[in-house]
Structure 1
């Protein structure tokens, strides 16, 4: 069934699309970098379009293995293209990057990497100095506090 968007939903969606379209031009890879990749010979010393496709397939298998969203895959490919357009990469270096990315994804999905404590983050983000706390102590009735953890 086709859902009917309310005016506020459609306006929010339109605003978000416009913001993303403005960002798209800044995030595109440089043409000279893409031409360098396309014109490179497949001798194992330079990055070629075939090696780039291989890395994209590898990223797809990693995102499917770890159960990440498709948005994560598209962002990873975008970052790969941006990186390749700005840096000169040899084909031999790709195995090192592949190992590094797989280690990062493994650590990210492990139990060691947990969600941050929201209360502690609120306190850090508020970033009040001692002088600001002194002046605002009598004006603000409730300041965020960090709960102390007993070992």
Structure 2
């Protein structure tokens, strides 16, 4: 089988696509979360004092609901997850700080991806997410995250590869353009993002696995041949590819099963009591303050090279909800959309 090259692509656009693919392949490892840090989280048992896979996955589901609520695009969500995982894989984080870190990851991603008019304000995100932080807490944590990631927040993700592979396929195929749904593929990628294990996969491999499984369901020989050319050009070996494809297949099967409750596709609505609504409209400062998060300290080599300063703060401010929330007739629940509904 011939290698995928400029002569096999459609004109000037094809040459550009190949160049962009080569650029993504060079960059992907640079923006992957540290595998050692992810493995430490994976090996952590479920408890109240240590960050474990369940807490991380629940926070990513919250981010997905937060992105849906504010109408953010898929790229914002995927980048927010990348920022979150890179930070968690680098730092020793306590569960009580995870909500603040998640909100900051979302805001940082939104500022990179979204148009200015679509970037939610810090105060709006605080109120909707109920993260129990102040605006100054958020700004301070954003600074910590940015510094630890060396201000390299705009990353090459699996979504970049998914879009590029999809465009390359459309450039080559003689079949109907709408046969391969990008919306469905994006929804499937979100499902994978909600599981910590897929943060260990190379973005190029994860995207190719998603496309391969979808092409197999379409039973298209032509599309499969194009994907094989892309796989060969990307230097993805069979062992790695089949390992991740099996995990992706299991993940998607679970999300597609009848036992998996799927959210209503209607727009999310936040219904509150009159008193709570008045508090939300009239004050940006109804959220209890978190104690200041100290930045002093350094890496503790005796624990792990992945551990760092203890960003500890008081427990009491995280133990209860604001008084006004007790009178909500129905409070927006980010768990309402924990599972994914794939477009048909």
SS at match of 2:89: helix
Q: Which residue of 1 aligns with 2:100?
A: 96
Counterparts of 1:113-124 in structure 2, within 5 Å, are: none
After superposition, the Cα gap between the structure-2 partners of 1:103 and 1:74, relative to the gap in structure 1 and judged at 3 Å, is: closer
Choose from 65, 72, 80 the match for 1:61.
65
Quick check: 1:15 aligned with 2:19? yes
Q: Which residue of 2 aligns with 1:47?
A: 51
After superposition, the Cα gap between the structure-2 partners of 1:13 and 1:36, relative to the gap in structure 1 and judged at 3 Å, is: same
2-side partners of 1:47 and 1:37: how far apart? 7
What is the TM-score normalised by the length of structure 2? 0.28
Query: 1:97, CA displacement in angstroms?
Result: 2.9
Residues matched between the structures, number: 106
Which protein is richer in helix relative to its size? 1
2-side partners of 1:103 and 1:25: how far apart? 24
After superposition, the Cα gap between the structure-2 partners of 1:100 and 1:79, relative to the gap in structure 1 and judged at 3 Å, is: closer
Quick check: 1:35 aligned with 2:50? no
SS at match of 2:75: helix
Choose from 121, 124, 131 the match for 1:106.
121
Tell me if structure 1 keeps the 8 A contact 2:77–2:106.
no
* Larger Cα-atom Rg: 1
Q: Which residue of 2 aligns with 1:84?
A: 88
Bigger relative contact order, structure 1 or 2, given CA contacts below 8 A and separation 6+?
2
Tell me if structure 2 keeps the 8 A contact 1:40–1:48.
yes
2-side partners of 1:78 and 1:23: how far apart? 14
